[in-house]
Amino acid sequence: MLTADHLRSQYLAFFHAKGHTVISGSSLIPENDPTVLFTTAGMHPLVPYLLGEPHPGGRRLTDVQKCVRTGDIDAVGDASHLTFFEMLGNWSLGDYFKKEAITWSYEFLTSPQWLGFSPDQLSVTVFCGGEGVPKDEESIAIWKSLGIPSERIYALPKEDNWWGPAGLTGPCGPDTEMFIDTGKSACSQACRPGCRCGKYVEIWNDVFMQYNKTADGRYEPLKQSNVDTGMGVERTICMMNGSQTVYETELFAPLMAQIRAMATVRPADEAAAVRAERIIADHMRTSVFILGDPKGGVKPGNLGANYVLRRLIRRSVRYAKLLGIAPGYSRALAETVIANYRHVYPELEAARETILAELVGEEERFEKTLASGQREFDKIADALRQHGQTNLSGRTAFKLYDTYGFPLEFTEELAAEQGLAVDRAGYEEAFKKHQELSKQGDANFKGGLADSTVATTRLHTATHLLHQALQNVLGPHALQKGSNITPERLRFDFAHHEKVSPGQLAEVERIVNDIIARDLPITCETMPIEQAKAAGATALFAAKYGEEVKVFSVGGFSKEVCGGPHAARTGELGAFKIQKEEASSAGVRRIKAVLT
């Protein structure tokens, strides 16, 4: 059996023998980068060196990096997806490139001296080209020279085989990914590496950083070509030991056993029960590592990284309820995580009291929220019975999920106890529509909204105040050129020909906070676009609306045509803080700001 400890030491020893300096992993909280909430890959702490700054350890490095990714949070509970994971990495800072990286990956994976996978189990993917970047023929040729046949080399598009920058700009490039064939039957003729049916599991990724993505979306060749590779500890020991899922490995087995011992209810749907156990284990482990990070500062809250942590803890509580696990469970599970990892990450032991206090406190706060949701469910059930109905609509089930945090399975169990059925198809339709709206918001830089949550709505409202304040300070030319708003922060582009001085930024910030402090009402009127313009409303993107538009007025401070959600009063926004001002493109500046 290959343990995580053995894998970490093997990997570092292998690359140390290839001339790499072993360096320490960095904090989960990125340094000086407001565009990402957590370290999601080993490259984040090394961006300055990937851009050409010399590293004290030289041009060949290797490390183990703690990472948190929540983009696939809804996939957690399957065989392999995790929110926290350890990434083994090796780096070439302008030294070796594709041939050495791929050859060494193959050696470590297949040599009996190291992991010893059969070459016949290995399938690989490469970048097929696009957006002015050619197909990665070089990687294809290298894989063939190592004995991988053409039928197990897949050329895939950007969404599969391109590694973007850590933030909005920076080092990026094509990658080649390695997959282990688990031996399961293909789900369809289209099944290939990257399919989520479980036949192929990604085990390693070699990124070839050849380009720098600029603020205007261009890909410029880097002055040095770099290699950034990543192998997940959890997935690798899962594959090596023949485990069906990462939750059967030594890293999760104690937690899973503890959760099952705590559970007093077993849902009829066994798959739902197993998924709940995995979500609790994953989210508790991630929360412990976030709270125990040496940099500190992340606590459960409503914004940014604090909100992500809160979501993880509360999601865990929801699924603990589904299994009948008694309140207070988070303390016991956190103790297990700390005991399992303290020999590798002693900072967890050092932060023990903080970790336990924050977890227990947030669990208790959410218990009260769940009680409110239970009261809402009881009202809905009573109303249905009074009208002789036995079916709870999918939209109502989704509202219980979105507003009170009730997972569908939890709502279905409550409904069954009262002789009610839940429209699962309607729920899934409402959930899908919610996801589509979120994706549209992510994709539209000028549209700007990632979703319509309370946090995003408040930040969207703040952009109106920022827009007017910029014109007050810089002049009427400082008009919006685009925006991108998530629940964590706002990004606002505006016309201006030079850097905004610190004094001007301070004045803009003061004006916005003054309007917030005055708790002005935010009103909405619907009128023809020409009438809106005649009334003095700013209507920069009016073309994307119909003949009738919504005009939002913030007291007597600002008036703007807009189709997005807004707060009712400025006092709801909290404190406005500008984090960064920088160039976006020629004649356009960018401000990043948060509400606290």
CATH of the domain at 517: 3.30.980.10
pLDDT of the residue at 548? 67
**Cα 208 off chain centre by:** 23
Does one domain contain both 107 and 137?
yes
Does one domain contain both 396 and 543?
no
pLDDT of the residue at 529? 81
Does one domain contain both 230 and 259?
no
572-585 in b/e form (b: 16+ CB < 10 A) is: bbbebebeebeebe
311-348 in b/e form (b: 16+ CB < 10 A) is: bbbbbbbbbbbbbebeeebbeebbebbbebbeeebeeb
Task: Please name the residue that has the structure tokens 């690359």.
Answer: 15
Does one domain contain both 379 and 305?
yes
Q: Is residue 79 part of a domain?
A: yes
Q: Over range 398-409, report the average pLDDT.
A: 77
Domain that holds residue 84: 4-245
Q: Is residue 43 part of a domain?
A: yes
pLDDT of the residue at 33? 58
Angle at 95 between CA 92 and CA 97, to 5 degrees: 70
Contact 38, 29 (CB under 8 A): yes
Does one domain contain both 359 and 481?
no
Measure Cα distances from 507 to 295, 439, 473, 497 in Å.
Answer: 31, 35, 7, 18
Contact 322, 407 (CB under 8 A): yes
d(CA 204, CA 235) in angstroms, rounded, equals 9
Q: Over range 357-378, report the average pLDDT.
A: 87
pLDDT of the residue at 547? 61
**Domain stops at, among 245, 276, 293:** 245
Task: Please name the residue that has the structure tokens 């590694």.
Answer: 163
Pick from 527, 540, 533: nearest CA to 494: 540
Q: Is residue 129 part of a domain?
A: yes
Strands 21-22 and 60-68: parallel
Number of domains in the chain: 3
Confidence of residue 48 (pLDDT cuts 50, 70, 90): confident
Q: Is residue 58 part of a domain?
A: yes
Res. 399: pLDDT tops 90 = no
Q: Does the pTM of the predicted model rise above 0.85? A: no
pLDDT in tens, 152-196: 999 999 989 998 775 567 778 999 999 999 888 999 988 999 887
Q: Where are the alpha helices (DSSP H) in 292-419?
A: 304-322, 329-341, 347-350, 352-386, 394-404, 408-417
Res. 381: pLDDT tops 60 = yes
More confident residue, 56 or 454: 56
Does one domain contain both 230 and 264?
no
Contacts of residues 456-459 at CB distance under 8 Å and 24 or more positions apart, as own/partner, are 456/485, 456/486, 456/487, 456/565, 457/564, 457/565, 457/566, 457/567, 458/567, 458/572, 458/573, 458/574, 458/595, 459/485, 459/486, 459/487, 459/489, 459/490, 459/594, 459/595
Q: Is residue 445 part of a domain?
A: no
Does one domain contain both 145 and 192?
yes
**Looking at residue 204, which CATH number applies to its domain?**
3.30.930.10
d(CA 235, CA 178) in angstroms, rounded, equals 12
pLDDT in tens, 63-109: 999 999 887 787 888 877 899 999 999 999 999 999 999 999 999 99
**Domain stops at, among 364, 397, 432:** 432
Does one domain contain both 102 and 191?
yes
Q: Is residue 444 part of a domain?
A: no
Does one domain contain both 224 and 264?
no
Confidence of residue 413 (pLDDT cuts 50, 70, 90): confident
**Domain stops at, among 188, 210, 245:** 245
**Cα 574 off chain centre by:** 24
Res. 448: pLDDT tops 50 = no
Res. 546: pLDDT tops 70 = no
Q: Where are the alpha helices (DSSP H) in 91-221?
A: 98-110, 137-145, 158-161
Does one domain contain both 235 and 98?
yes
Does one domain contain both 543 and 490?
yes
